Structure formats: C-alpha cells, structure tokens
Amino acid sequence: MPDTAQIINGKLIAQQIRDELAVEVVEFIQNNSVVPCLAAVLVGDDPASQVYVRNKVKACEHVGIDSQLHRLPADTTQDDLLKLIAKLNKDESVHGILVQLPLPAHMDTDLVLQAVSPAKDVDAFHPVNVGRLVQGKPRFLPCTPHGVMQLLKRTGIETAGKHAVVVGRSDIVGKPLAILLAAKGADATVTLCHSRTKDLASFTRQADIVIAAIGKPEFITGDMLKPGAVVIDVGVNRIDRGLVGDVEYESASKVASYITPVPGGVGPMTIAMLLINTLRAAQQLEL
C-alpha cells in the first residue's frame, strides 16, 4: 500500500460532469425551445451564503442554464418570502427553486422549504421528495449525497458488499447518503453514526468507506481508520488557519487508500449535482 492516499479530485470530476451536462443542455434547448432556469433566493447578507449563491449562478452560466438571483434583506418577513416562493412556483419559465440556507432566525426553515413546489425542489429537501428517495423512486437526488456517490463511482471505488460508515445524521447529508449507499445498485452495508455514538472509533475502524459529515473540524483522525479505507470528507469548517474538513487530513492520508481534500473534494460536486437537478426539473416540466 502507498505511504499516502490517492487524492480524489472533486474539482476535476465536477468539471467532467459539467462538460457532459453542457452538451445535454444544448440538446434539450434545441429539442424544446426552452432554456432551463434556476431561481436562487438569498435572504440576508451572510458572507458564506453570498459566496455559495454566486458560485451556483456562475456554474449555471457555464453549462447554458439560465439563473435568477432574488436578494431579500435580512428583515424580510416570512410572509413576503412565502409570497416570492409562490410566485416562482407559478412561473413557467422557472424550473428549479433554491432557497439558500441558513435563513434568518425569525423564519421557520421547514415551513419555507415545504412551500417550494416538489417539482421545482432541486435541493430535494421537500418531504415529498425525501419520501420518494426513501421508497427508491426519487424525482431528484439530494445534491451533496449524490455528489459523494458520483465521486465514488467515477473514481472506480466499488460499494457493493462494502461496509460504509457515515458519521453524521443530518437530513441534508447523513441520512440521505446512508439511504443511497444501501440502495439497490450501490449495495453497501451501512452503519450510521453520530455525535452520541459510543466508541465511534470502533465503528470507523471496521469501515471500508468512511464518510465524515459531522460538522466538527478534524474530528476523524488517522488512528480511527482501517488501513486502506476510502475517506470522503463532507465537512467544511473555518478555523484560524483556514478551511478544514471533518477529517484530520495529514494523519488520515497516511492510512487511507483514497481521500477527498477540503476544499476541492465534495464541494464542487454539490454544485454540479444541483445543475443536473435543474435540467431534470426542466425535462419533467416539459414532458
């Protein structure tokens, strides 16, 4: 086994996916005389959210998808936000709607996300879309979990019969990722761990694939891994020396066979999957 893990380059893989998608978008526009359109809604002036939304809008341009950016001040009422979402739901030129999280504290995030039409919910957060995912009949796949699955697939990492340990049980990453890994076709055996798991290292040391999505900087260390494990780091944490993941990269990269960096691993994939969902939404609405 090599002394250091092979790096899974999410930037490169995301670029390949965007190149493939750009061809598909051109075909769709030619066949339907309709340009897929993503409407992003940004409430308030959270700096990280502004960067994320800007990157999403830029990525749309690169593949030929139209985008709208609706900026609302932080003191916008929930009622006004819901009115905007209702307007976008009815707008036939808009195929996907993205409400950038986090929302200001005075808003009910669940209520707002449920207001987005399931047919335009390109983040796949709506309960209808979550239910379809659980049943194995997804309309859209949630962006970050789908991005992780694509990283594994396109790197040639086999999941069938492997033991995957997902660390983190969020609705956005941990839970849907566990479902996708266990689904027919992926066929992994999945253990879902979290911050309250007793002796977490005893689970991660058994794993062929470790996916860290717990939101704690450098939480998974090399001594918690089985030699040759595949490590996917979903975490993005800002600390004094910059951005780090949920995995302590230096020690983990000496034990793992493959590892994703932060930044440049899962992050670019999330945006690429959002673009795929926007095209799929347009395809379904134009049927």
In tens, the pLDDT along 80-106 reads 999 999 999 999 999 999 999 999 999
The answer to whether 40 touches 71, Cβ cutoff 8 Å, is no
Q: How confident is the model at residue 75 (pLDDT cuts 50, 70, 90)?
A: very high
Q: What is the pLDDT of residue 200?
A: 98
Given a cut of 90, is residue 3 above it in pLDDT? no
How far apart, in whole angstroms, are the C-alpha atoms of residue 135 and residue 147? 20
Given a cut of 60, is residue 210 above it in pLDDT? yes
Q: Using a pLDDT cut of 70, give the percent of the chain over it.
A: 99
3-state secondary structure of 220: strand
Phi, psi of 47 (to 5 degrees): -60, -45
Q: In 33-160, which ranges are E strands?
A: 37-43, 66-72, 96-99
How far apart, in whole angstroms, are the C-alpha atoms of residue 141 and residue 40? 18
Q: What is the pLDDT of residue 124?
A: 97
Nearest by Cα to 284 from 130, 136, 122:
122
**CA trace torsion 89, 114, 190, 275 (10° rounding):** 20
In tens, the pLDDT along 245-255 reads 999 999 999 99
CA-based angle 80:86:91, to the nearest 5? 125
How far apart, in whole angstroms, are the C-alpha atoms of residue 195 and residue 185? 29
Instruction: Please give the positions annotated as active site.
Output: 56, 100, 123
Distances (CA, A) of 246 to 4, 77, 186, 207: 18, 35, 24, 16
CA-based angle 124:182:154, to the nearest 5? 75
* Helix, strand, coil percentages in the chain from 3-state DSSP, rounded to 5: 45, 15, 40
Nearest by Cα to 137 from 171, 174, 179:
179
Kindly list the structural domains of the chain, giving each domain's residue range(s) and its CATH number in brackets, ordered by start: 34-117 (3.40.50.10860), 143-267 (3.40.50.720)
The answer to whether 96 touches 38, Cβ cutoff 8 Å, is yes
In the numeric block, the tokens 């260390």 are attached to: 221
Q: What is the pLDDT of residue 229?
A: 98
Q: What is the pLDDT of residue 2?
A: 56
Given a cut of 80, is residue 281 above it in pLDDT? yes
The answer to whether 177 touches 141, Cβ cutoff 8 Å, is no
How many residues does this entry show for the chain? 287
How far apart, in whole angstroms, are the C-alpha atoms of residue 6 and residue 28? 37
Claim: this prediction has a pTM higher than 0.85: yes
In tens, the pLDDT along 139-184 reads 999 999 999 999 999 999 999 999 999 999 999 999 999 999 999 9
How far apart, in whole angstroms, are the C-alpha atoms of residue 83 and residue 81? 5
Given a cut of 90, is residue 6 above it in pLDDT? yes
Q: What is the pLDDT of residue 285?
A: 78
